[in-house]
Each structure stands twice: as C-alpha cells, then as structure tokens.
Structure 1
C-alpha cells in the first residue's frame, strides 16, 4: 500500500483566525474584550495569520534553484541541457583540379532550404573519386557483394577463435595520392547496448572483442602494406562506427583493396555488416558562432553595476547549447546554477529560450563590470567576445536524405559541396525540465550501484555500459582456483552475451554463446568497482554441457523428414541459453533436465503430426539410452543440444496390455 504524500498547506486563514479568537480570552486573562476587526490588535493578528498562510503555502513549493541544489548535493546531474542529434554524412565536393578535394571539419550543411537545421562535420573528409555506379565488393568465404547490395547482413568474421579475414574492393578511380585518411562507414547489425560511435550514448574505452589488423593491397599485383594509423570507431567491429585509415606515403587510389584480419576471431557472434561506404564523417546538429564587441555594443554600454546582467546572443533564441565568455581578457565559464558560487567567481548561466548568458548577483557569481575602454557609443571587438554553439533538440532527428547543401550563410560557393546522410539522424533531445530531473532523481534511488546481494551482481553485469550481456548468474562461493571447495566471500559471475536469435537455421548461428575477452574485462571492471571490500569477484563464461536426446515417436508418421525437423528445432529452442525454458528467457542455470519437460516441448511443436512416446537424455557425449531418467546439471552449467535421434516405436492401442 502506498502512503499518500502529505499536504503541508492545508491550514487556511479562516481556520487560523477562528483558533486565534478562541484563545484571546484565556491569553489576556479576560482583559481583551473587543474581538471585532475594528480592534487594532485583531488587525495585527489578521496580518500575522495572512503572513503565516503564505509561509505554509511555501512549504509545498520547492523552487527550481532548491531542486537543482539538492540534485548537486546528491551527486546527480542537474537538469540536462539539450543534446544534438548525430548522423553520418557523405559529402561530395566539386573540384577543377587533379587533386583529391578535402571538405574541412566544421563545414555547415543543412537538409532544408531555409537552413533551420544545420549539422557540422566532426572531421576533415578527403573526398576520393568514386567510379560511376561503382560499389564496394565484399569477399569472405565467397563473393558477398550481392547480399550487401540487397541490404542483407553479411557475416564478416567467425567466432571460433581461429584466424579470419574479410576483403573489400573500394570503387576508387585514377591514381591520386591521399591528402587525408580514408574514412569508412561500417554499419553493423549490433545489439542496442553497443550504440554506434557517432551517437551521444556511445561508450568510450570499451575493450575490443578481437584484435584487428587493417591493411591495403593493389588488386592483381603483389603491392600491399599496412596503414600508418587506424582510428577504429567500431571498437574492433563491436558496434557501428566510422573507421579512419591513414595511408602511408606512396599509396594512391589504384590501391583499392582493403583487408581486415585477426589472428583469433574471439567474437561472441560473427559481426554482421549492413553497409560500407567511403568518404564519410560523423556530423552533429550544432553550429559554432562568435559574437564580438561590435555585435553586443548596445547591450554592453547599457550595463550598470547591478545584479542580473545578461547578454542576448545573435540568432541564439531557443537554440543556445554552449557558450564561453571573454570580458577584458578574462574567461567566464558556464555553470548549471549559482547556488554554490562565490562572489568573485567568473561564471554565468545559459538561458536557451532567450538565447542569452545570465550573470550572477555579486553574492553567488560575479557581477560583470563594463571594461575601461567602453564608452557610451564605442565598444571594441577585443573587449568582449562570446564563443557559443547553437542547435540541439529533437528538431535535428530525421531520416535519410540526399539533399544536404551548405547553410545559406556558410562561407564558400553555394553548391560546391553537397552531401547525403547514410544513417538516420538520432539522439537529439530537448532540455530536461526541473520536474523531469526530479523524477530522474527519484528513479535513481532504486538503481543498483553496489554489489551486495546475488541480484545486484546480475543487475550490474547485465547493465555494463558498451557491451551486450543477455544473462548473468552469480555462483556464490565458487572460486576458480578451488573448484572443489566453497570459498567464503568468493563470487564467480557467469555471463552469456547477447547474440542474434532471429534465425536458428543461419549458417553463422551460434549455438553456445561465449563472451568475448573485451566483454569479460568490461564486466569484471564494473563489478570490481562495485564489490564489497571483503568480496572476491571473478567473471567467467558459462560451462556448456553437451546433450544428446533420443525421441521415441509412436506409430509411423506420414512425413518423417518434417517430423524430424520440427522435433529437432523445437528441442533446440527449448534448451537454448537465450530463448529456452518454459519462460522463453533462456534455460535456467543449473536446471535439471527432465524427460517429461522435453516431451511436452516436443509434443507442443508436433501437434497432430505425431505422438511422442518417450524422451531419453544423454550428457557429455553419452548415448541417450534410459527413458525417464532425469539429468542434473551443476550450478552455472547450461545445456547445449548436439544431436537428436528420432526412433519409431509401435503404437500402443487403448487397453492393450491390461489383464
């Protein structure tokens, strides 16, 4: 039962005056006889009751400044500012020379004619010439170009720990040197927990699942080599990202071959490629501007030595994201609020709606003084400078388009650069309100930050940033160094990674998912920082036990091939570590294998096709010979189905065998 929140301002002025009048005779020993409003004493009591009523109303009203201060005291973020959307742009530049053109970082491009939504490139883009109608060719075990063209996921590398490689041929033309790195968009079919590198929610510093080597070669020749530097936004093909490859001297656009290889493909599941594109850069919905003294002269000259001064920045109303102010050579920095500021702090607030920077009151934040060289009609550019960023918000989110053009006020010739965004623009958010921040703070009280109980270990492991963990099982007392003993304080957490379960018949389907080394390191680091001082935590892969089943079918099914396929797929799914079990959330760790449960699963899948008479179970390579025998698993063990043998037994007629 939820306790209702108390209302503190439920005492009205009338209630207070009625109570006060009742006490006057006793408090005055009967000497105060006139209790009418005409009496000056009653007038004062009415005034005090009015003031008290206002104070009682304030008890239920927490001002925004107080809420922000409490959030900071709790170590939580204050109301979060607007966040810019992000995408990946592929610019095309017009050139009249034989050199490869370079579109510089910070180039402003807009997807609408009015230039209301402007994105800027994060990096320089060398726009290498591409063959007309050319496409990237992909070769793994065979030519996969047609699959990539049809937007079907292409399996790049294996997940068996053996050496693996994938080759690409880029549609480059000519024989031109590289003025900058080759920039590639590598879009993968990755879990949601592994956010693409260009989105705001991407996690930095996640260990790669496998060590990759990027190299180049010239088709139909022996010319080959490695790149001088690799900036891998995919974190080893763990997520979608932009890869920037810096060619060595002597490389030219004749060297169109690209090779990615690894000595040990230790992926939880083979990476699946959805798109590979050249000449790209991440871009964000933001635009940098600078306002100088001449732009702000009218406001500066009107300043007095009073609190609450502010500067309204040009074209920033409703769009202001960031700002840095320089007054008379001194740098002023933004703060979320003035609550913990001192009188000499050169700080200010950002007012997104007004598009202004707001200064302090002299007690919590310094009051800006007009600089000495400011006169009534003249302000130099050197005395005041504001560098600010506009953009952000949900307006930047959108789909894929190919009509990006330079912003109308961007320098340079209009039409010299165009672009297309190869992925949707996502991640843009409006500023968080104080009410939303309060709700976030309340929700954070239930977040798990320390590993105390077994459920805490599960929650922390599954929510490790940057890696996709589907399941976790804490084995209390299990120590890898003492496998036959229970060690107090030791906890071994077995993790199952999130891998595709969309099609059990795919050739790259992983039956027994093993976490990659990077995932184990990331989970171990998270649990190490959250464990109790007396605990010893280990992170391991689950122990898979091979299971062989024999299914006896009663009678003679009409379509034995179909029956065998249906039974095998049903039991494979039922014992699956991610979608198996009665709850379809993965076979429980250490759950006993019972023939009756397997029989029910097989019969549900078969329906009227055939009748299942019995199921026998064999473990760890043993033949399934005995019916009705349950097979126990150790804590932390999971089954993996290796074989299903179908056997037909004579049908038993009703009443047969009865005496």
Structure 2
C-alpha cells in the first residue's frame, strides 16, 4: 500500500479572499464597505494573492530539493563523461628518444570549425623503431600475426587459443627500440567487440587483480641473450584490456636467459622483444587488434593552473559580502582546487553543516562557479580577497569528434628534453573520439537511483547472492549458482568465454574478486566460499547412418558440434547454458544428433563420463555444482545407400 500524499495547496485565491472577508465582522463591526474600491478590500486582495503564491510553493518540489534527496541517499548527478581516442605521434629529427609527457595539451578542430581541448593520459616514450613482425609461439606451433597486427578489421590472439605456460609473444623491430631512450611505450589495442564489458565499479576503483603472470625480455643483439625488462606501468592489467605498457631499458648486469629464438627470422637484422606467459589463467584468450609504438590515449579535458576567478556582480556596500559567487572562465568543471588569499578552502556539497568559521565553498560544476558562505553557514571571504583556482574542465557530447578532425599541439613550442619541440612531432588520431556524454540531469539521476533501489546490494537470499556475484566489478561473470548446505553458502562462478572455449575456467584472481565483492555485502554471520564449476567430461560414441549427399569430411565434425552445442556450459541447452545439476539423458542427446542435416539415423549412442557423475540406465547425473564439457566424440557412421536411378 502506498502513502497518501496530502495536497497542501488546497485553496485558490478566491477561496482565501472569501474566507478573509467573512472574518471582517469578527474583528470590526464598523466595516460596512466590502466593494473592491475600498482600500481595506484592496489590501485583503493583495494579501490573498501573496498567500496563494506561498501556499502554491508548498506542493512544489524543485531540483534543489531533489538534489538534497539524492545526497541523503549518497548519490549525485553524474558529471559529464570524457570522450577518449588514440593518437599517433610521428617523431622527426632528434625527437626520437624524447618523451611526450602526460597532460600534453592538444587542440582539435572538427569539420564545422569548432574546437575543443584534449590531453594525453600518460607519458609516451618516442622511438624510431617500428614493429615489423608479431609472432606467437606455443605448444600448437608458430603463428605469424604480422599481417593482422597492421591490418584494420583483423585481430589475433596473443598467446593462441588456449594460453598455457611458456606460450610466448614475440615482437620484431626494424631497429633497436632502446637505441635512443631508456624506455619503450607499447600501446595495446584490445579487441573487445565480440565480448561483453566487465561489470563497472560504483566507486570507480578496480577490484580485479589478475593471477596471470607475464615476463618481458629483450634479446641483446651482440650475443643473442635474453635480458629481463622492468615493467614500469601496465595499463592493460596483464592483457585483460587495452592500454599502454611502459618497459625500461635492459640492464646488462641483470641475469640473462638462453639465446634461443624459436622464430623464423630470415632477415636477421630484426631486434626482438618477447612476452612469456609464466603463470596462465585467462578466462578469455587475449585478443589484440594491434600493438603499436609512438601512440597514446587522449581524453577530452583541459587543465588550468592559477586562474584568478572573477566575482559575479558587484558589491553595493563593503559589508554586503555574504553569498559571494565567483565564476570560472571555462565549464563544465571536472575537478577544482580553490584558494582564498593563498589558503586552500574545502569543497562541500552545501552549507547545511557549515559553521561561521568554516573555510568552505560550494562548487557548481555545470555552471562553472564557486559560492561562498554567509557568515552563519560558511565563512565569508574578505571584500578584497583574491580567489584563485587550479581546475580541470571538459567532457560532454561535444568531445565526440570524428577521425577527420584536425589535431595539433596547443603549444608546439614546448621543448622536449632539449631535443626539439612538440612542433617537430606530427600528431594524428587513429580513430574517432567516442564516449563523451553530457552531465546527468537531476531527473535522470532520480530515475537511475529508483532503478538501483530495485537492485539487491545486500546478500540475504540465494537470488541476492546470484545477482550480486554476477555484478562483480572488473570481471565478466556469465553464470552463477548458489548451493546452501550445512550452514555453508557455496557460490559457483562461471566466467564468460568465447564459444570456441568448451570449458570456461575462472582464475584464482577471478574467484578472489567475486569472493571479496560478496564478503562486503553478505550478512555478517554467513560463511561464503566461491568456487569454479566442477566439469564432468563426456565421451560420446555415436553409431548411425549419414545422408549420401553430404561429404565424408563433415560427418564427424557435425556430430561433435551437435553434442558440444547441446551441453555447452554457457550457451547450450536452451541457449542460456546447461542448467547446473541437470541430468543428461541419452535419448535427448540422440534427438539432438539425429536432428542434424547430415544424419539420416542414429542407431546407437553410448556415453561415458569422468569427474564425479553417476550413470544409471542411460542417464548421466551430476550435482548442483557441476556442468558438462565434451572430451571426445567417436562416430561410426555408414553412408546411406543411394537407390538405383539416382534417387535419395
């Protein structure tokens, strides 16, 4: 049952005036003229009109009220989203070996002539060396990905389809990548078009620490020895996402590994860097669109330092200082640091809890202004105060500029380590800028919070545990199941994996992330563990007859595909994955195989299971923590004879 909200503005002007006129005799029996020309009646009409306007406001809820409600719930309208893109640098002259620092300002002019500001997100060490070869070496052999690495609309898997220990990615350069600098920046363009985004974090802090371990090495040209590289920064989170990797120049004093180069290197002038998979555990084999040098990510924002803010309006009297407002030159504001006469003041959402001596201010990000207190709630700055701000502005839909936009350095005269200036470097985008969004309105924020209220954030029931585990930030949880037994809550987590992965296995880091997320939201006394699914391997032998119009080569593959598609953990059965604990009936599997075009008839089917299943009279039974995967499919298929005359 909902609350009955009272209507406070329940009387209109005429009713208020009529009631006031009826009360006149109770206060003055000499009042005889009730016509509009009477001054007393005129005064009553004015007061009735004022009363109606005040009563009308009682039922009005403004955006200021709504923002208060949002803050009471720990929420605020979201700020503008920053558009991002990748830019490529082409060094000229002596600039190879220099560094383009993080925060380097870029000016972008789109096709309409409008300009906006971008900044680089990280340092970029420039090099004259280019990547010519990309080779993956593993148990399955050697795969040359060089063409895919330099071709749009193509991607490759850095460590193959099934990454395992000692699988290695080799990068061959046409020159020494450390020839002019002690650092090397590699930009990894991750292919994520065919996979879901990981769950976002409400706080913005990542909660996933991969258990995968990588080792980067450089091959010395003089003796062929592999020398370890220091990873100064890994923005890819061990190849779980796109970003940049910064490697430091090898030190000859470091311990070296052998001199083997299991790569066909006909032009022996290549300089090699490799990345070895020391500890595997990828849920999704790393998929790469390209690995590039001399590239950086850039975001739609601009930083301003030491701007003196101008007061909005003028002071009529030296004492009228309360509620002063100062304006920024640019907006919307993403972050700001405000000082008054050299002293840093503190930003607060409002002055409700501020005292008369609290050096605080309220920042209006959309409008680009700062409001100070009135001496009762919040301290009043002096009349001659100097208000200075360091701030970052930007974001919004206007940052989504096309790839055809013109890019240049805002201040091309900036020197680079004494070796040339930014003007000696050509900058160009490698893609359009995307992801820019305008700031969230109060109405949209309220709708989002209402939706969020219907989402469980405290794990009490088994459905709560399933829902919360599936939203673990930083990872891609495809399916979950919850089993409660002996006061122990067991959450089975299955990660997303591409369709060609028959047995999706979560890594230790994946399980830790889910466990940590649940621990923060479970009831205090609950004992929770998070495990990988138990996989029951199936060996299926199929005897039957094929249709004569199909070639022999496709029969066995078609039968195996039919079995795998039916029992697949993520998209089998009804398309949502094989249900946890559901038994497999040989009659159902027979029907699945027989329904395939190449099969004319299935005469017999035999199923063997490994990994904790019980087989009873053609039924393979598993527990609620188990799923199936296909180990082997053996076929004994005879071709259906073609009748005389060529009929089928």
User: TM-score, length-normalised on structure 2?
Assistant: 0.81
**Contact between 1:194 and 1:239, CA under 8 Å: does it hold in 2?**
no
Correspondence for 2:476: 468
Are 2:362 and 1:362 aligned? no
Measured in 1, the distance between the counterparts of 2:90 and 2:345 equals 39
Measured in 2, the distance between the counterparts of 1:233 and 1:212 equals 14
Shift of 1:574: 1.4
TM-superposition CA deviations, 1:462-498 (whole Å, max 9, x none): 1100111111111111xxxxxxxxx12x111111111
Q: 1:5 to 1:428 in 2, by over 3 A?
A: farther
Correspondence for 2:326: 311
**Contact between 2:17 and 2:45, CA under 8 Å: does it hold in 1?**
no
Q: Which runs of structure 2 are paired with 1:1-40 in the superposition (5 Å)? A: 8=7, 11-13=10-12, 16-17=15-16, 20=19
* SS of aligned partner of 1:631: strand
* SS of aligned partner of 2:93: coil
Are 2:610 and 1:620 aligned? yes
Measured in 1, the distance between the counterparts of 2:202 and 2:171 equals 29
Measured in 1, the distance between the counterparts of 2:579 and 2:636 equals 28
Measured in 1, the distance between the counterparts of 2:392 and 2:115 equals 14
Measured in 2, the distance between the counterparts of 1:297 and 1:411 equals 33
Shift of 1:278: 1.1
* SS of aligned partner of 1:452: coil
TM-superposition CA deviations, 1:420-471 (whole Å, max 9, x none): 3345433322222111222222222122211111111111111100111111
Measured in 2, the distance between the counterparts of 1:22 and 1:585 equals 73
| 1:454 aligned to which of 462, 469, 475 | 462
Shift of 1:136: 4.5
Are 2:353 and 1:349 aligned? no
Correspondence for 2:147: 146
Correspondence for 1:185: 187
Are 2:507 and 1:513 aligned? no
**Contact between 1:115 and 1:407, CA under 8 Å: does it hold in 2?**
no
Q: Which runs of structure 2 are paired with 1:482-493 in the superposition (5 Å)? A: 487-488=486-487, 490-493=488-491
Correspondence for 1:279: 294
Are 2:103 and 1:103 aligned? no
Shift of 1:273: 1.8
**Contact between 1:137 and 1:168, CA under 8 Å: does it hold in 2?**
yes
User: TM-score, length-normalised on structure 1?
Assistant: 0.80
**Contact between 1:202 and 1:466, CA under 8 Å: does it hold in 2?**
no
TM-superposition CA deviations, 1:576-612 (whole Å, max 9, x none): 1111112x01111111212343344334443x86245
* SS of aligned partner of 2:85: strand
Q: 1:399 to 1:265 in 2, by over 3 A?
A: farther
Q: Which stretch of the first structure deviates more once superposed, 609-618 or 451-460?
A: 609-618
**Contact between 1:458 and 1:473, CA under 8 Å: does it hold in 2?**
yes
Q: 1:370 to 1:4 in 2, by over 3 A?
A: closer
Shift of 1:124: 2.8
* SS of aligned partner of 1:610: strand
| 1:214 aligned to which of 207, 216, 225 | 216
Are 2:641 and 1:637 aligned? no
Measured in 1, the distance between the counterparts of 2:21 and 2:605 equals 87
Unaligned runs of 5+ in 2: 254-268, 416-420, 641-648
Are 2:408 and 1:405 aligned? yes
Are 2:445 and 1:437 aligned? yes
Correspondence for 2:257: none
Measured in 1, the distance between the counterparts of 2:524 and 2:450 equals 28
| 2:165 aligned to which of 162, 165, 179 | 162
Root-mean-square deviation over aligned CA pairs? 4.1
* SS of aligned partner of 1:263: strand
TM-superposition CA deviations, 1:525-574 (whole Å, max 9, x none): 11111111221111111001112334454676443634443332122111
Measured in 2, the distance between the counterparts of 1:139 and 1:174 equals 20
Shift of 1:51: 5.3
Q: Which runs of structure 2 are paired with 1:252-271 in the superposition (5 Å)? A: 256-271=271-286
Measured in 1, the distance between the counterparts of 2:439 and 2:176 equals 46
Aligned length: 607
| 2:109 aligned to which of 104, 109, 112 | 112
Measured in 2, the distance between the counterparts of 1:310 and 1:432 equals 23
Measured in 2, the distance between the counterparts of 1:241 and 1:71 equals 34
**Contact between 1:86 and 1:200, CA under 8 Å: does it hold in 2?**
no
TM-superposition CA deviations, 1:175-216 (whole Å, max 9, x none): 73415x2111112234443489xx999753521141111221
Shift of 1:238: 1.4
Measured in 1, the distance between the counterparts of 2:188 and 2:199 equals 13
Are 2:87 and 1:72 aligned? no
Q: 1:48 to 1:445 in 2, by over 3 A?
A: farther
Q: 1:613 to 1:54 in 2, by over 3 A?
A: farther
Q: 1:625 to 1:589 in 2, by over 3 A?
A: closer
Write 1 or 2 for the structure with the bigger share of strand.
2
Shift of 1:622: 12
Measured in 1, the distance between the counterparts of 2:525 and 2:547 equals 62
Measured in 2, the distance between the counterparts of 1:417 and 1:115 equals 23
TM-superposition CA deviations, 1:599-644 (whole Å, max 9, x none): 44334443x8624566553322999999x73222111110112233
Q: Which stretch of the first structure deviates more once superposed, 586-595 or 348-357?
A: 348-357
TM-superposition CA deviations, 1:381-425 (whole Å, max 9, x none): xx5432122221122224546842112797576743322334543
Correspondence for 2:582: 591
* SS of aligned partner of 1:530: coil
Measured in 2, the distance between the counterparts of 1:441 and 1:511 equals 39
Q: Which runs of structure 2 are paired with 1:559-570 in the superposition (5 Å)? A: 559=550, 561=552, 562-570=554-562
Shift of 1:3: 6.8
* SS of aligned partner of 2:209: coil
Shift of 1:242: 1.0
